[in-house]
Amino acid sequence: MKKAFFWTASFLLTSLLFLNSCVKDKPDEPPSTLIPFDPDKVLTIGEIKQMYIENGGAFTFDEPYSVFAKVGMDDKSGNIYKSAFIQDESGGIQLNFLFTGGLIVGDSVRIMLQGGEIELYHELYQVNNLEITKNAYKIKPRMNLEPKLLTIQQLISNIDLYQSTVIRLEDVQFNQGELGQTFADAVNLIDINRTLEDCDGGSLIVRTSGYANFAADTLPPGRGSLIAIASVYNNDVQLVIRQYSEVQLTGERCGSGGEPIDPVPSVNEDFETANDNQNINFEGWTNIIVAGNRMWQGKYFSNDDNTYAQATGYNSGLDDMETWLITPPVINTNGDKILSFKAGMAFWAHTVNEPLKVLASTDYDGTNFESATWTPLSPTLPNSGSGNYNWVPSGDIPLSGFVGNVAIAFKYKGSDSETTSSTLDDIVVNTAGGSGSTVLYENFDDNWGNWETISVVGAQVWDRDNNFGPDGSPCARISGYSSGSHANDDWLISPAIDLSGFSLSTLVFESARNYDGDDIIVKISTDYSGDPATASWSILSANLSQGSWIWTSSGNVDISDYAGQTVYIAFQYVSTNELSATWEVDNIEVKADE
């Protein structure tokens, strides 16, 4: 027993002497181990990197060189895989193992390098092809490893010195435009980069694996401290988070997190390019969290094949939620711009706050959200009696009182108890009435309104003797079915539309369909003269009804390429002897603006 005690004490004394000495001192050989050790072949991490440089590139260690270091990061969180970061006084390096597990953060270790390959992977030094049982020897577990306190600028300027080491940043926050997002895609297991910034304008990347155990956690919305491994990929400095508990961003944010935004002449946004259930992040637009962790998101509704913006407190678990969606500043030098949009609601549950407010500012520039002056507007908005997901037109809101550059904000206020969903679509800021002056409008309530119906093939034709329109009034309707399907080619063609004197123009309409068959084809021509077969037609892209008699808005179909010309709009219906859908069209409008 005395001999055993003496051996243990001697080993501890030897280990302590090593840990309190410079890593360049040749340590005594550790107690018996299967891992070879040559006290004359001890390297620092800095010397390992220098050997790579002197060798002219990657090479495999063919001698039992060793490096003594502490483990800065293990793979327990899943944010790295079969890897570890180690560091000594000369720097840090990534180790890649053939198998996972074995090393723990804080472990004091000796890594025997024989058989390992050093390489520079996109500017990050790594040693590959290591095995825990053959190359790693643990001297002492769980020792303290104090992170190096740095600023973002200090880290970026000295990344060669600090790469692969544990660092700590203070007074940092995630970029405003990414709040409400998760660290990574935990569903599809995809790595994602997020932007971390400080209050002095510095920023860098936080990269997280889709396999990390915190990948599905939402980015914290506040400002504070963060501990991570400093890494690099080509010219990008990156951080690799060790564990979620080391992300302490709970304080008040600094600034609005925005960049100066160039004013635009107009806004015409239908959100068709927004991604379903993803935060809206359009160029020039601002999506801001004031309270909670949710933002305005894109929302796709398959019934009418339409994408719109939505904010909701439903199932949020939040005591307070507030998010603002702000347009780019619009040039309004003459005070002649007009705002229009449509809004909806679903499952009204607000009892204290109004879910949606609309405000305007002439001094917001993208960087000064908190200090900008915001004035409430008075559009028509949905209320508790509007019905779920029914669009309510705002009406035209003159912006004559906001001369200069005017930004429009849509403010949502909710919580886990006030859960009403608010939706937005077709936001337009322009002159002469939102999308411009109406140069054509037809709802077929009284007659065909100078529209032509031309049957090229088949006995079935366009008709309007029905009350099936979206408001129960007549609409244009056609079906190739009559005691069976029949082949048809039928055209509904507008009167001449004069776009001279305009530079912007938009087509909108509503459609409904049922039964199987081809879509109607929306076309435009500048040379139609009575025979559709002899005219040149271009196909326009529009949202169309997907069936079940559901009326669907086309969205804003841009026809500005035909500004200054006279055009004709046509709806072509085609059916076969096998398939013959029924189609209805109503509320066709062309607006134009200078």
CATH number at residue 470: 2.60.120.200
Same domain for 502 and 473, yes or no, is yes
pLDDT in tens, 426-485: 999 987 544 457 788 888 988 888 899 999 999 999 998 777 777 677 899 999 999 999
Q: Which domain holds residue 508?
A: 438-593
Residue 20 has pLDDT above 50, yes or no: no
Same domain for 241 and 276, yes or no, is no
Q: In which band, very low, low, confident or very high, does the pLDDT at 9 lie, cut at 50, 70 and 90?
A: very low
Q: In which band, very low, low, confident or very high, does the pLDDT at 7 lie, cut at 50, 70 and 90?
A: very low
Query: Is residue 542 a part of any domain in this protein?
Result: yes
Residue 2 has pLDDT above 50, yes or no: no
Residue 18 has pLDDT above 70, yes or no: no
The arithmetic mean of pLDDT across residues 118-136, rounded, is 95
pLDDT of residue 364: 94
Q: In which band, very low, low, confident or very high, does the pLDDT at 502 lie, cut at 50, 70 and 90?
A: confident
Q: In which band, very low, low, confident or very high, does the pLDDT at 302 lie, cut at 50, 70 and 90?
A: confident
pLDDT of residue 8: 33
pLDDT of residue 29: 39
Burial class from Cβ neighbours inside 10 Å (0-12, 13-18, 19+) for residue 154 reads: middle
Lowest mean per-residue pLDDT among 153-167, 183-197, 385-399, 566-580: 385-399
Percent of the chain surpassing pLDDT 90? 62
Same domain for 98 and 245, yes or no, is no
Same domain for 399 and 456, yes or no, is no
> 111, 140, 169: which is the final residue of a domain?
140
Residue 16 has pLDDT above 70, yes or no: no
pLDDT of residue 436: 56
Same domain for 406 and 466, yes or no, is no
Q: What is the DSSP string of 366-414?
A: SS-TTTS--EE-------TTS-BT--EE---EE-TT--EEEEEEEEEEE
pLDDT of residue 255: 62
Query: Is residue 262 a part of any domain in this protein?
Result: no
Query: Is residue 309 a part of any domain in this protein?
Result: yes
Q: In which band, very low, low, confident or very high, does the pLDDT at 501 lie, cut at 50, 70 and 90?
A: confident
Same domain for 391 and 539, yes or no, is no
Q: Please tell me the total number of residues recorded for the chain in this structure.
A: 594
Residue 391 has pLDDT above 90, yes or no: no
- What H or E segment, with its residue span, contains residue 161? helix 159-162
Residue 489 has pLDDT above 90, yes or no: yes
pLDDT of residue 33: 53
Query: Is residue 124 a part of any domain in this protein?
Result: yes
Same domain for 271 and 401, yes or no, is yes
pLDDT in tens, 444-458: 988 888 899 999 999
pLDDT in tens, 509-523: 999 999 999 999 999
Highest mean pLDDT among 49-58, 254-263, 277-286, 427-436: 49-58
Q: Which of the pair, 347 or 558, is modelled with greater confidence?
A: 347
Residue 418 has pLDDT above 90, yes or no: yes
Query: Is residue 256 a part of any domain in this protein?
Result: no
Cβ atoms of residues 543 and 496 within 8 Å = no
Residue 3 has pLDDT above 50, yes or no: no
Same domain for 408 and 281, yes or no, is yes
pLDDT in tens, 214-270: 999 999 988 999 999 999 998 889 999 999 999 999 888 876 556 789 998 889 899
The CATH number that applies at residue 117 is 2.40.50.140
Residue 207 has pLDDT above 50, yes or no: yes
Show Cβ contacts of residue 358 under 8 Å, excluding neighbours closer than 6 positions. 339, 376, 377, 379, 381, 394, 397, 408, 409, 410, 411
Residue 537 has pLDDT above 50, yes or no: yes
Query: Is residue 15 a part of any domain in this protein?
Result: no
- What H or E segment, with its residue span, contains residue 155? helix 152-157
Same domain for 581 and 558, yes or no, is yes
pLDDT of residue 434: 44
Query: Is residue 163 a part of any domain in this protein?
Result: yes
Rounded to 10 degrees, what is the CA torsion of 532, 538, 541, 546?
30
> How many domains are contained in the chain?
4
Query: Is residue 444 a part of any domain in this protein?
Result: yes
Residue 367 has pLDDT above 60, yes or no: yes
Residue 560 has pLDDT above 80, yes or no: yes
Distance CA(590)–CA(198), nearest Å, equals 48
Distance CA(433)–CA(590), nearest Å, equals 12
Torsions phi, psi of 230, nearest 5? -80, 130
Closest CA to 49 of 89, 91, 109: 91
Residue 24 has pLDDT above 70, yes or no: no
Same domain for 225 and 276, yes or no, is no
Percent of the chain surpassing pLDDT 70? 92
Cβ atoms of residues 525 and 567 within 8 Å = yes
> 140, 163, 186: which is the final residue of a domain?
140
> 251, 278, 310: which is the final residue of a domain?
251
Mean pLDDT score across all residues of the chain:
87
Please identify which residue in the block is written with the tokens 């220098």: 50
Same domain for 118 and 192, yes or no, is no
Q: Which of the pair, 2 or 496, is modelled with greater confidence?
A: 496
Q: Distance of CA 271 to CAs 285, 298, 558, Å?
A: 12, 7, 14
pLDDT of residue 334: 85
pLDDT of residue 11: 35
Q: In which band, very low, low, confident or very high, does the pLDDT at 5 lie, cut at 50, 70 and 90?
A: very low
Highest mean pLDDT among 33-42, 278-287, 319-328: 319-328
Torsions phi, psi of 561, nearest 5? -60, -15
Handedness of CA 374, 375, 380, 383 (dihedral sign): positive
The arithmetic mean of pLDDT across residues 167-194, rounded, is 90
pLDDT of residue 292: 78
Same domain for 133 and 178, yes or no, is no
